[in-house]
């Protein structure tokens, strides 16, 4: 079966979905709210299961070319610099660390030209007789399938499941940054009430994250970078110097939230339901048990 899908959201999830559709012969239109797909975000690491998914999408080599092996979870330290655990060279626990923008670019380059429409915030979804319609700033489109990849505050989730709970603040907040500091090994330093993570990323940079507890979401400081330095300034090297080496504008601040799962992630229209019922009622070839 092939058809036309609308993917809502052009983040890593949306582009991966579009690429997967392309690989199985579907057409897709990706509707992205942002005016342009800029180099945003900080870093992330990917485990072998994610790398297998990237291989299925045909972009494992391109991803490896912009990923850097990291042993962050093997190098556990305390704020005074002692190692609770130290990764050995050649340890098989390495993950691949990326600047989010580099991994996003790999997917973007692989999605067929013309599939992505920016400045297209989706505001409505409507189930028609044989299709699903999407309303967005700038127009309307219909397709056989809509995939919601519009992030943790998904509009599509809210429209289709208005009673589902919204994101829940987990009592934690994080500062993230990318600095031009080459060859840093990955590590996690466990301190009182929080931890500091370092991953090396491509082109001689390092990604860091300081995750700690917060009483409420939305607490912000005039100078976010100075606030991180105030909290971890006495921790072992290279933590303070890494934060100092990060441009003020490069420090990202987020509150950490979780989203409860839905009982199902699929909402079928009448036509799709009828097609599936017809397929299921067709006689199937008998399976012969091989013992
Ligand atoms: C501190 C921290 C560390 C993390 N570390 C890792 C890690 O190491 N490895 C890892 O794999 N993951 C990590 N994650 C999780 C990871 O960042 C997310 O799971 C992932 O980025 C989600 O991607 P997404 O494409 O689903 O959503 P998003 O990246 O949020 O993309 C959603 C897109 O949809 C667009 N959009 C939103 N609403 C609309 C609309 N109405 N219409 C059109 N477009 C819309 C947005 O503009 C955006 O481009 C981490 C997260 C945090 C907070």
Neighbour order of strands in the sheet with 139-143: 122-127, 132-136, 139-143
Query: Mean pLDDT for each 10-residue chunk of the chain (291 residues)?
Result: 93 98 97 87 92 97 96 95 91 88 96 97 93 95 97 96 95 97 96 96 97 96 95 97 95 96 85 67 53 34
Pocket of ligand 1 (CB under 6 A): 8-14, 31-34, 44-46, 121-122, 149-151, 155, 174, 209, 254, 256
- Take atom 15 of ligand 1 and give the residue whose Cα is closest: 44
The tokens describing 170, both together, are 């987990």
Domains of the chain, each with CATH number or no CATH: 4-69+98-164 (3.50.50.60), 168-258 (3.30.9.30)
pLDDT value at position 231?
97
Whether the pTM exceeds 0.85: the reply is: yes
Q: Tell me which residue of 113, 156, 126, 120 sits closest to 139, measured CA to CA.
A: 120
- CA–CA dist 202, 69 (Å, integer): 10
- CA–CA dist 99, 66 (Å, integer): 8
pLDDT value at position 265?
87
Q: Measure 88 CA to ligand 1 centroid, in angstroms.
A: 32
Q: Measure 283 CA to ligand 1 centroid, in angstroms.
A: 43
DSSP calls for 105-156: HHHHHHSPTT-EE-S--EEEEEE-SSSEEEEETTEEEEESEEEE---TT-HH
* Rounded to 5°, angle at Cα 274 from 155 and 19: 45
Instruction: Tell which one of 151, 153, 171 to mutate to probe ligand 1, the residue whose CB is within 8 A of the most ligand atoms.
Output: 151
pLDDT value at position 291?
34
- Take atom 14 of ligand 1 and give the residue whose Cα is closest: 44
């Amino acid at each position: 079966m092939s058809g036309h899908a609308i993917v809502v959201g052009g983040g890593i999830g949306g582009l991966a979905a579009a690429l997967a559709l392309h690989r199985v012969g579907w057409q897709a239109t990706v509707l992205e709210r942002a005016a342009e797909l800029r180099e945003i975000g900080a870093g992330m690491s990917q485990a072998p299961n994610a790398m297998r998914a990237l291989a299925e999408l045909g972009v494992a080599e391109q991803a490896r070319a912009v990923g850097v092996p990291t042993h962050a979870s093997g190098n556990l330290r305390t704020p005074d610099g002692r190692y609770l655990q130290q990764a050995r060279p050649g340890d098989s626990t390495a993950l691949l660390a990326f600047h989010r923008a580099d991994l996003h670019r790999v997917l973007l380059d692989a999605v067929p030209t013309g599939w992505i429409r920016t400045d297209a915030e989706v505001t409505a979804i409507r189930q028609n007789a044989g299709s699903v319609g999407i309303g967005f700033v700038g127009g309307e489109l219909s397709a056989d399938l809509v995939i919601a990849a519009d992030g943790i505050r998904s509009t599509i989730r809210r429209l289709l499941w208005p009673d589902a709970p919204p994101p829940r603040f987990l009592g934690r907040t994080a500062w993230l940054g990318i600095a031009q500091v080459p060859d840093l090994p990955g590590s996690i330093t466990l301190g009182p009430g929080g931890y500091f993570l370092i991953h090396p990323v491509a082109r001689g940079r390092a990604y860091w994250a300081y995750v700690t507890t917060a009483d409420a979401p939305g607490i912000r400081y005039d100078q976010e970078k100075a606030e991180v330095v105030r909290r971890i300034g006495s921790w072992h090297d290279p933590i303070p110097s890494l934060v100092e080496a990060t441009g003020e504008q490069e420090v990202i601040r987020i509150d950490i939230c979780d989203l409860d799962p839905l009982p199902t992630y699929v909402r079928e229209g009448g036509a799709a339901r009828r097609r599936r019922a017809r397929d299921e009622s067709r006689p199937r070839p008998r399976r012969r048990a091989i013992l």
